[in-house]
Amino acid sequence: MYNCMERVLKGDAKAEFISRAAAEGNRSTEHYKAVMKKMTKHVFPAFAYRDQKRYLSWYLRKPVGMKVKAFSTRLVQLNEYLPLFPPETDGQESSKLSDDDMKDILYHAMPNSWKQKMTEQGYNYIAHTLTEMTEFFETRIENLETPVETKKGKKGKGKKKVRISEPESEASSSSSDESNKPTKKKCKYHGWCNHTTEQCTTLKELIRKAKKRNKKPKKAGKTYTKHEVNALFKKKFKKSYEEKGQ
């Protein structure tokens, strides 16, 4: 046992173990247990036993994503560790929490909505065991919850909330169905889409450009094609040539 601890421990803990073992004298089972008690007090922080009990009783809360059965099992496991904590004063014994204390801790660790449901159903947890209390939270509350989707933000991350499922009326179900239906609008340019003809920005832009073209000033006088211009030029040149020949 001594050799095993010397291989496992490192640094300050190993040096303290060797020093305590040498102070006890020969290596026996009785001396080994005495050394380990002193080592436990050396390794643990001050008032560790009191702080652990205070945290369990006042601050412990069930994590959102953790099942109540797993939480209750872990709570029992933590309670089993308490006798291993070193005593804070001479003659003090580190002991586990009582059953009533454990039930109080489990009750106050649950969400407020769960505790309200327990009160509404008239369940007195003090009159039941910790296992029965865990089964109540699991079967009558946790298993009846249904997830409710929330809107996602820009990063696509949205939290999920839960609520107790209750029968919905026909009016509420029909109104929710209508609100979930996609809305389609008719546009003369795009057809069925998400806007009307009056809201169509593309059609408005085409109309604006058409009006702008119509406002351009027209050229005065008659307009001629290139072929007509060449014919008039030849006719005029021939007439002037004949007048000079006469």
34 and 53 part of one domain: no
Structure tokens at 83: 């006798």
Task: Tell me the mean pLDDT in the region 212-219.
Answer: 63
The amino acid occupying position 152 is K
**Do 61 and 39 have their domain in common?**
no
Give the pLDDT score at 148. Answer: 52
- Residue 50 sits in the same domain as residue 135: yes
What is the value of pTM for the model shown?
Answer: 0.53
Report pLDDT for 88. 82
Number of structural domains (the chain) is 3
Q: Beta strands 191-193 and 161-164: pairing type?
A: unpaired
Q: pLDDT tens digits, residue range 22-57?
A: 998 888 999 998 888 888 888 888 899 999 999 999
Kindly state the average pLDDT of the residues 199-223.
Answer: 71
Strand partners, 148: 161
What gap in Å lies between CA 166 and CA 66, rounded to an integer? 23
Per-residue pLDDT at 215: 65
**pLDDT at residue 166, rounded to an integer:** 46
Structure tokens at 68: 């109540």
Same domain, yes or no: 18 and 58: no
Express the helix, strand and coil content of the chain in percent, nearest 5 each: 60, 5, 35
What average pLDDT score do residues 183-192 get? 75
**Taking a C-beta distance cutoff of 8 angstroms, is the pair 145, 162 a contact?**
yes
Q: What is the mean pLDDT of the chain?
A: 80
The whole-angstrom separation of Cα 79 and Cα 71 is: 12
Quickly state the pLDDT bin for 118 (edges 50, 70, 90): very high
DSSP string, 107-125: HHHS-HHHHHHHHHTT--G
Do 113 and 78 reside in the same domain of the chain? yes
pLDDT tens string 146-178: 665 445 555 555 555 555 444 444 444 444 454
- C-alpha to C-alpha distance for 166 and 7, rounded to whole angstroms: 60
Are both 54 and 95 inside the same structural domain?
yes
Angle between helices 112-120 and 99-109 (to 10 degrees): 110
Task: Give the range of the structural domain holding residue 198, as residue numbers without chain letter.
Answer: 184-211
